[in-house]
Amino acid sequence: MSVLALASERLSNTETVRFSLAIQGKTFIDPARTIQLLSANGLLVRPDRMSSSFKAKVAGAVVALRLITIGTTSWMTDLITGNWGIAPAEFGYEPNILFDSASGLGPVMMQLHEPRMVAPEEIRGRDANHIVASVPRPIIDPVTAYTMTGDPVAVEVWTDRETGDLLRIKLTEPPSPENDEPATWVLNISDHGKRATIEPPV
């Protein structure tokens, strides 16, 4: 579908974008399933810089985390003190995967199954195309850090009807016996190409 191809190309060529992620259901971002991701927002500066803030639930308490990635180095704030330090290896989710040129959102949009256009909508004051589809979970796994279960994953995409830019993407886990709270991710994309910088926190 040409609308998806344009959105994928635009995202691949955009130097900076801001994003916000809201999650319903349960998504854990560590192998021990002790850190439940609730929401996130951040800034991508290509080729390899990302600054993001998270809300997560740990041991029943909601905590705020910040993460900065530059190249292969990531820094994260401590859950208790809030001080910056090198992100631990067990912190499994790296938000820059969302915009990876090989397995991020752009390539995912080109592998959707049976995409079809539905009624247009307005997203943040912009007229938007609205596409519904599905995608095999192995294709979406890198974007969600392998946190989703069930197959396939339902996808909705909204793109700016004037510029072609991706405005929103929604991913929904199918219900399954092993998952009583399927996750839904709603990712909003904004500020395409606006000048921004990210520096190391320490």
Residue 2 in 3-state DSSP?
helix
- Report the C-alpha gap between 181 and 135 in whole angstroms: 20
The two tokens of residue 187 are 């990712």
Domains of the chain and any CATH numbers:
2-190 (2.50.20.20)
**CA 37 distance to own-chain centroid:** 12
Residue 50 in 3-state DSSP?
strand
The two tokens of residue 69 are 């990635």
Helices (H), the chain: 2-13, 105-109, 137-140
- Report the C-alpha gap between 200 and 119 in whole angstroms: 44
pLDDT at 155: 96
Residue 15 in 3-state DSSP?
coil
Torsions phi, psi for 7 (to 5 deg): -65, -40
Is residue 13 within a helix (H) or strand (E), and if so which, with residue range?
helix 2-13
pLDDT at 91: 59
pLDDT of the chain, 202 residues: tens digit per residue? 799 999 999 998 899 999 999 999 888 877 777 888 899 999 999 888 999 998 988 888 898 889 998 988 889 998 788 899 998 766 555 667 788 888 888 999 999 999 999 999 999 999 999 999 999 999 998 888 788 888 899 999 999 999 999 999 999 998 877 677 889 999 999 999 999 999 999 8
pLDDT at 32: 76
pLDDT at 93: 59
